[in-house]
Amino acid sequence: MKWMGLSAVLLVLASCSSPASEETATEETGASEPLFTAALGVQMYSFRNYYPDDQAGTLDRIKEMGFTEVEGDGGSLSPEAFRKMCDERGITIPATGADFGELEKDPLAVVQKAKALGSTFVMCAWVPHNGDFTLADAQKAVEVFNQSGKVLHDNGLTLCYHAHGYEFQPYENETLLDYIIQNTNPQFVSFEMDIFWIQFGGGDPVALMQKYGDRWKLLHLKDMKKGTEKDLTGGTSEENNVVLGSGELDMPAILKEAKRIGVAHYFIEDESSSVMEQVPQSIAYLRGLTE
């Protein structure tokens, strides 16, 4: 064995020990990485009490809060006009919404609107039904989503169904939400998880992400007031929306799993009357999370 100079020995020792040393240093200093690293997005419905009366001012406030993405449309504005206003503020519109009836009757019109906005995802947030959500309602949803989803797919768009909690009616040892997911074509139909409504309907956001993986493309970030009474109606008081991290949802676990399965876009949604106060606090919570 040839003799190595002191500097060479030290170099070898450093190369052998550096990973452990770095790990130890990280543990000793408490250094950690941010958990939420995605683009900051918001669902426009959060600002429904402000936007119609002050479109430009509301978008300015959204920009000031740090959002670079929105989900929605311009309301009374044309898609082109809304996109222009967003472009001027460095905001993109990766996802927009469509009514179930629009998807059923004229999916090409949905395509045109989404393309005018510059969106790549189209979400549907409600399947019409009377009383309890039934198997027949779920079967209708599967039919419409598969048909319209193919039209959107053929035009470069992705359809996402936004479950609302009423789909957790039991069905064959699972739920009607399972039925919808399992009977829609993965090539044409994906899903948006609103973690509030999943929890409200009795579901487990983390378990459902683990079960269906990348079928979930979009996520609504919202938290639920502790002790909220739950049912299968898909509706509750808007004031049960609270600042992220202050409610009953396990936000760190949800965000870790969402990152693992590759959720494409995250949108804060706050339906409360205190949105202007709560949303900045939710942003601060997200940015303060580490792993």
Written as six digits, the tokens of 109 are 């019109």
SS3 111: helix
The answer on pLDDT for 23 being more than 60 is no
The answer on pLDDT for 18 being more than 60 is no
The answer on pLDDT for 20 being more than 90 is no
For residues 122 and 95, the answer to whether their CB atoms sit within 8 Å is yes
Residue 79's identity, in one-letter code, is: P
Q: Are strands 174-175 and 170-171 parallel, antiparallel or unpaired?
A: antiparallel
SS3 73: coil
For residues 235 and 228, the answer to whether their CB atoms sit within 8 Å is no
Architecture of the structural domain at 35-288? Alpha-Beta Barrel (3.20)
CA distance 274 to 268: 14
What average pLDDT is seen over the chain?
91
For residues 217 and 264, the answer to whether their CB atoms sit within 8 Å is yes
CA distance 193 to 161: 8
pTM of the model: 0.89
Rg from Cα positions in the chain: 23
CA distance 245 to 247: 6
Q: Would you tell me how many other CB atoms lie within 10 Å of the CB of residue 165?
A: 23
Question: What DSSP state is assigned to residue 233?
Answer: S
Mean pLDDT along residues 144-160:
98
Specify the pLDDT at position 224: 98
CA distance 216 to 258: 8
Specify the pLDDT at position 12: 34
Mean pLDDT along residues 149-160:
98
Specify the pLDDT at position 22: 39
For residues 159 and 188, the answer to whether their CB atoms sit within 8 Å is yes
Q: Would you tell me how many other CB atoms lie within 10 Å of the CB of residue 274?
A: 14
Q: How confident is the model at residue 198 (pLDDT cuts 50, 70, 90)?
A: very high
Specify the pLDDT at position 268: 98
SS3 169: coil
Domain layout of the chain by residue ranges: 35-288
Residue 69's DSSP bridge partners are 41, 92
Specify the pLDDT at position 10: 32
- Residue reference for tokens 């629009």: 102
* Distance from chain centroid for Cα 88: 24
Mean pLDDT along residues 251-269:
98
Task: Calculate ∠ Cα 42-64-60, nearest 5°.
Answer: 85
Ramachandran class of 2: left when φ > 0, alpha when ψ lies in -120 to 50, beta otherwise: beta
For 200-235, what is each residue's pLDDT tens digit?
Answer: 999 999 999 999 999 999 999 999 999 999 999 999
Q: How confident is the model at residue 30 (pLDDT cuts 50, 70, 90)?
A: low
In the chain, how many H helices and how many E strands? 11, 12
